[in-house]
Homo-oligomer: A and B are copies of this chain.
């Protein structure tokens, strides 16, 4: 049952983000021998890989005067030296020494955040460390499935994460925003079925299309021609992880069974929406496919194509963010296609309330 909002929520000066959840913080390929600075849920953290290969995430503000550790140096012994006055820390965040005195004052240790490496990503847990279990990172991404090859990347979007969640949960926008690439009239015209799993904070939505147009991007990648059968199965793990299973296959209606079974082309579209602040969001993506696995040109085409799609979405959600900032909230009308997005919003509100109570 939904409880009334607890008072602590409204007086908490921190932005309203779910903290007890895994968020994607970085591409594994970003994390090498240098400290990476990243702002996650309004908190600046630094990510580093120790000599022994372990990923570490530390609060990126020195306990002395708040200078970013990522502006300092990381020694070969995994010792971090603050670049302002020289506080020294080990990779767990324990303060080793401070300048001008022998002892270390109480409270000098840096906060450390649980991390996990899963698929092409480094994940972070910004909430209570005791609750952090990497096994809870959903397997639906397909990162563990060798039949998929993934291409990944990262952009920052000038809009809050809820605007982006709305965007990816209502794929009817493909018919308009992405009309020249993956959209076709039928996406917006086809109804969806949706369901939710409150225990996993999961919303599912499916759209099954038969005998529809093969949009340009799929023509190029698979060689299929219209008509096709096409399916989209969304799993959105509130607040942040989005997995879209896509399937395209030559339309059954046109198929001659004598030629053998049809070859379905399967894809995985994984997005990690990680708030940087209330109005700016990290957008991590990993695009998987079960075909053309050894084709580096296909890798490049998928990567480039995904950046173009995100550009189109980023434009739209940034417009909405700017209008919300300038004109304030406005009433909304919802349709049946919004069912999944509305479930996700309510689930997010519940999850936030559960944390702030």
Do B335 and A100 touch (CB < 8 A)?
A: yes
Task: Provide the main secondary structure of the chain A interface.
Answer: loop
Do A44 and B327 touch (CB < 8 A)?
A: yes
Q: What is the CA–CA distance of A83 and B179 in the complex, to the nearest angstrom?
A: 10
Q: Kindly specify which of A19-27, A185-193, A259-267, A291-299 makes contact with the partner chain.
A: A185-193
Q: What is the CA–CA distance of A90 and B291 in the complex, to the nearest angstrom?
A: 45
Q: Nearest Cβ distance between residue A163 and chain B, in whole angstroms?
A: 9
Do A64 and B172 touch (CB < 8 A)?
A: no
Q: Nearest Cβ distance between residue A345 and chain B, in whole angstroms?
A: 12
Count contacts on A: residues with CB < 8 A to the other chain: 57
For window 66-120 of chain A, which residues contact chain B by CB distance below 8 Å? Answer: 66-68, 71-72, 81-86, 98-101, 105-108
Q: Which positions in A face B, CB cutoff 8 Å?
A: 13, 39, 42-44, 61, 63-68, 71-72, 81-86, 98-101, 105-108, 166, 170, 172-173, 175-177, 188-192, 277, 316, 319-320, 323-324, 326-328, 330-337
Pairs across A and B, CB under 8 Å, 23 listed: A61-B323, A61-B327, A63-B331, A64-B333, A65-B332, A66-B320, A66-B323, A67-B320, A68-B319, A68-B323, A83-B176, A85-B170, A85-B172, A85-B175, A86-B172, A86-B188, A99-B189, A99-B337, A100-B337, A101-B335, A105-B334, A106-B333, A277-B326
